[in-house]
Amino acid sequence: MSHLDTLTVHAGREDFGKLGVHAPPIDLSTTYPVADLAVGTASFDALVGGDASAPNPIYARLHNPTVARVEQALAQLEGSEACVAYGSGMAALTALLMSARMRGGHVLVVRPLYGTSDHLLVSGMTGLEAEFVEAGEIATRKRADTVLVVIETPANPTLGLVDIRAVVAAAGDVPVVVDSTFATPVLQRPMELGATYVLHSATKFLGGHGDVIAGVVCCSEENAKVLRQVRAVTGALLHPLAAYLLHRGLPTLTLRVERAQHNAGILAQRLAAHPKVARVFYPGMGTVAGDGLLASQMRGPGALLAFELHGGHAAAAAVMSRVRLITPAVSLGSVDSLIQHPAGLTHRVLDEATRQACGITAGLLRLSAGIEHVDDLWADLEQALDLEQALDLEKA
């Protein structure tokens, strides 16, 4: 299968003919009978040690066949040897940081990134010292105990692009993790650019329907082995029903991303022309950091955009309250369009100085375009913006 469109449909389903099924089977068992103690003991040792599978799954915290199936599919989509799935994107990041802590205590981080990811790194909960740097400072800020470089591109919420190849080169022998949630494998494959790990909040585009919480890390089998050890001990395995829903969403991934991207591009242009909008952040428009990387690093600008309103917080709150078709809610990557206020919601956990430094102002809204008709989406945005503008004129 040479085309991603085909791979999204068939990945993880190669044995369906042999099984005699047409939909992924769901295994909801919490425990598995151990008829042969020697086999059971060997299986237990293998799974606790981080092996991808064993003759007996033993216990669902250690391994689940339904989860393993979607892991196989996502590894194929990212072009990695392995994928390890967790109960959420934050659980995936936490496991990754815990595995890094085994090697040292210092992490280099490039902002901006998802607010809770930032908060976890700042908090020191994982025992790591997080140093926040510009991408161009990585080579000079590395230390002997630096164990990981963390970047998110496109960045949440201002859509800035970070040069993955340059970061990998600067990091040298230090592993690089790329949060590629906004891009998905449809638009970006970081491992082809040298990244060690690719992180996804699979809740978003990979699931795509707002009905599953999941996180995944794609990497080499050697690194996956350590991540599975952490998962087995912490109990962060993805639930099999969530794994089933995640797998069910993959066949339409390319279609959803392409349609949502089409909508986002049109909305970004129309928003940029509206008098109530001070600035639009969208790759390809010359409005985001690293915009020139789009042609060399991605296969499209994506389905996320952000826009800053004249009028600050009051204007942003008013628009969120006046949209009728677009859902005012956090998260992204669903089939329906979502709008949210980063400073008041997803990035509220950051201190004000950090938010300002990252361009997360009081008037900034982030929009995740869905697959609705773009004219209906624009009509909804336009009426919300025009009403806000009319009220401003009345006050004047």
Positions annotated as catalytic residues are 61, 114, 179, 204
* 178: its two tokens: 């790329």
For residue 45, the one-letter residue type is D
Task: Give the 3-state secondary structure of 6-59.
Answer: HHHHHCCCCCHHHHCCCCCCCCCCCECCCCCHHHHHHHHHHHHCCCCCCCCCCE
CB 93 within 8 A of CB 76: no
For residue 365, the one-letter residue type is L
- Please give the Cα distance from 232 to 22 (Å, whole number): 30
Cα 386 to Cα 54, 340, 392, distances in angstroms: 61, 18, 10
DSSP 283-351: TTTT-STTGGGHHHH-SS--SEEEEEETTHHHHHHHHHHH-SSSEE-S---SSS-EEE-TTTTTTTTS-
Half-sphere exposure of residue 251: CA atoms within 13 angstroms, side-chain side? 9
Cα 242 to Cα 86, 173, 383, distances in angstroms: 10, 35, 37
